Structure 1
Amino acid sequence: MVTANVHEAKTHFSRLLMQVAAGESVVIAKAGTPVAKLTPVDAPTGVPKRIGFMAGLSVPDDFDTMGLQEIEALFGGST
């Protein structure tokens, strides 16, 4: 990851954008303290996608009636 101070970022903005377009992230610092980060638009945000996180999980056929007797015993009545 490249770090550039504000003056350098203003002076060489096109070069920094070319690096970002190539997939590299650039941190912009003010007085040595990071204040912003340039990343490619299609770059992952660090949050993993959860697609398929329940793969292999199966729901029993009687899912909607599981525990019905216990519930009726606790709360009375029938559903």
Structure 2
Amino acid sequence: MLTVTIDEIQRNLTSYLKQVTAGETIIVMQAGKPIAEIKPVSPIYQQIRPYGLCAREFIVPDDFDSPLPEEILNSFEGK
């Protein structure tokens, strides 16, 4: 982790950003106190879930999509 002042980062922004791109984290200081942290952004990969991920782990009952009993519907409606 690298610590720099605001003045240093303003003078050499491009070189510090290259270091961040390489994986370095930079703490920006002002009057001896940390005010910001600059770090690489984690790449966001949307990984496609494999088909059949939970195969044979549970069984969907035959009445899965049947209407709910009246008493359960009433409890959802506050009756």
What letter matches 1:64 in structure 2? Answer: D
User: 1:14-55: per-residue Cα shift (whole Å, max 9, x none)?
Assistant: 321221121212121212222222233xx228xxx8x75xx4
Shift of 1:59: 6.6
Q: Give the aligned partner of residue 24 of structure 1.
A: 24
In 1, Cα distance between the equivalents of 2:8 and 2:59? 58
Q: Give the aligned partner of residue 64 of structure 1.
A: 65
In 1, Cα distance between the equivalents of 2:28 and 2:58? 48
Identity %: 31
Q: CA RMSD of the aligned region, Å?
A: 3.2
What letter matches 1:36 in structure 2? Answer: A
In 2, Cα distance between the equivalents of 1:58 and 1:24? 45
In structure 1, list runs of 5 or more residues that go unmatched. Answer: none
In 2, Cα distance between the equivalents of 1:29 and 1:59? 58
Q: Give the aligned partner of residue 36 of structure 1.
A: 36
Structure with higher helix content: 1
In structure 2, list runs of 5 or more residues that go unmatched. Answer: 75-79
Give the secondary structure class of the aligned counterpart of 2:65.
helix
Runs of 4+ in structure 1 over 3 Å off: none
User: Measured at CA, do residues 73 and 12 of structure 1 come closer, stay the same or move farther in structure 2, by a change above 3 Å?
Assistant: closer
User: Measured at CA, do residues 73 and 7 of structure 1 come closer, stay the same or move farther in structure 2, by a change above 3 Å?
Assistant: closer
What letter matches 2:42 in structure 1? Answer: P
